[in-house]
Amino acid sequence: MQKSLTTAEAARFLKVSPERVRELIRQKRLSAEKCGRDWVIQKSALNLFAEHGRKQVGRPSLLNTLGDTARRENAIRPQGIRAVHTVGDGMIYRGDALDILPHLPSSHYQAILADPPYFQVLRNERWDNAWQSPEEYLEWTVTWVRQAKRVLKNDGLLLIFGQLGKREHIWLHTCSLLAQEMQFHDMIIWDRAVGYNERRDSFTPQYEMILVLRQSSDAKPYFNKEAVRLPYSVERIQIYQQDKRYKDTRARARHLSMGKYATNILRVPSLKGVSKEKAGHPSQKPVQLIQHLISASTRVGDAVLDPFLGSGTTAVVAQSLGRRWTGIELQAQYVRTARKRLAESS
Ligand SMILES: C[S@@+](CC[C@H](N)C(=O)[O-])C[C@H]1O[C@@H](n2cnc3c(N)ncnc32)[C@H](O)[C@@H]1O
């Protein structure tokens, strides 16, 4: 390793985010010298911190508060975790995903649903504006995705939300970078049913995307197409029933009643302000959408991870479908929201 490192290099070395490194510098727990807009950190200071400084991070007594499930399933060390909550078949860790992911067990999760900050889309939310530049955001993304890849089972799927509205073209770079880290599997379109911003220089954006990645080109991910069938419309049923080519009308009726396979364009209305589901999170995803994703990509009893839990939609759905789950969320207020939703839905 070279003698002095930048913030990003130090973050990689310590397996934490660049924000965390800057925070440690601000707290004077890691010595560094200012160099333009960045910091220079000496290798000796980093080694010192890695050996001794980390012991001060987090609350050591927290380990005693972890339940058996937490010890067995996650074997988590307390550093970087601000709180742990066991709820039903799952655990919520409050803290930075980059601090917590390295402590989750390898090859454990059947599916990872990640709805990360999209980068400067929600201008008023601190968590969406934590990076100085698109490059820094991309570097952060690659760092957490490498950890997600490690904890994903070999036949598992990593599903990552993103969008192309107006400013959000960074999503294109994200997809291209991540297709080099893992194997591209699919791109699901979430059709939100109504447009979501006031763009005047093009058509109104109406969809978001879900990039689906698998471990490698020869990995064979579990996917149950039967799990998501959507009802045929009344008109479509009438047309099929009148079609003279089908001789066995009863078999035809049975087939029609099962519904059709979902396509990779999932039309699920986004949540309106008046929606009963709304829990006070600005980018809360609809339960029905998450149900489709979890039902098809996991079996009952499988483990699901959401490293950016927000208001807890993944946890609520996983719990209701009999999956084990783990959620990570930075903000105490959203952890409270998720716990409230879980309590109300149990
Ligand atoms: C797009 S929202 C997720 C919304 C969620 N899917 C839902 O349905 O409510 C992203 C969430 O990630 C959290 N977050 C941002 N940076 C984080 C980090 N480094 N570690 C963990 N959580 C983070 C934010 O506080 C925010 O709640």
Structure tokens of 198? 């006031």
The domain 1-57 is placed in CATH, from the list 2.60.40, 1.10.3470, 1.10.1660, 2.40.128, at: 1.10.1660
| pLDDT of amino acid 70 | 46
Q: Where in the chain is the domain with CATH 3.40.50.150?
A: 64-222+263-345
3-state secondary structure of 197: coil
- pTM assigned to the model: 0.79
| pLDDT of amino acid 28 | 67
| pLDDT of amino acid 44 | 64
How many CA atoms lie within 13 Å of 220's alpha carbon, on the beta-carbon side?
A: 0
pLDDT, mean of each 10-residue run, the chain (346 residues): 78 82 77 80 70 40 38 49 86 95 95 94 85 92 97 98 84 96 98 88 93 98 97 85 78 86 97 91 96 98 98 98 97 96 92
Alpha carbons 343 and 340: distance in angstroms, whole number: 5
User: What is the whole-number distance in angstroms between the Cα of residue 334 and the centre of ligand 1?
Assistant: 8
Alpha carbons 310 and 112: distance in angstroms, whole number: 14
Query: Please, which residues bridge with residue 33 across strands?
Result: 40
**Ligand 1, atom 15: nearest CA belongs to which residue?**
127
| pLDDT of amino acid 62 | 32
Residue 329, ligand 1, Cβ within 6 A: yes
Residue 313, ligand 1, Cβ within 6 A: yes
| pLDDT of amino acid 198 | 74
| pLDDT of amino acid 63 | 31
Phi–psi pair at 309, nearest 5 degrees: -65, -30
Residue 43 vs residues 7, 54, 93, 235, 329: alpha-carbon distances, Å: 12, 15, 31, 69, 31
User: What is the whole-number distance in angstroms between the Cα of residue 327 and the centre of ligand 1?
Assistant: 10
- How many separate helices (H) and strands (E) can be counted in the chain? 13, 14
Q: Which residue of 16, 126, 127 sits with most ligand 1 atoms within 8 Å of its CB, as the best mutation to test the pocket?
A: 127
3-state secondary structure of 90: strand
The domain 64-222+263-345 is placed in CATH, from the list 3.40.50.150, 3.40.50.300, 3.30.420.40, 3.90.1150.10, at: 3.40.50.150
Residue 19, ligand 1, Cβ within 6 A: no
| pLDDT of amino acid 60 | 28
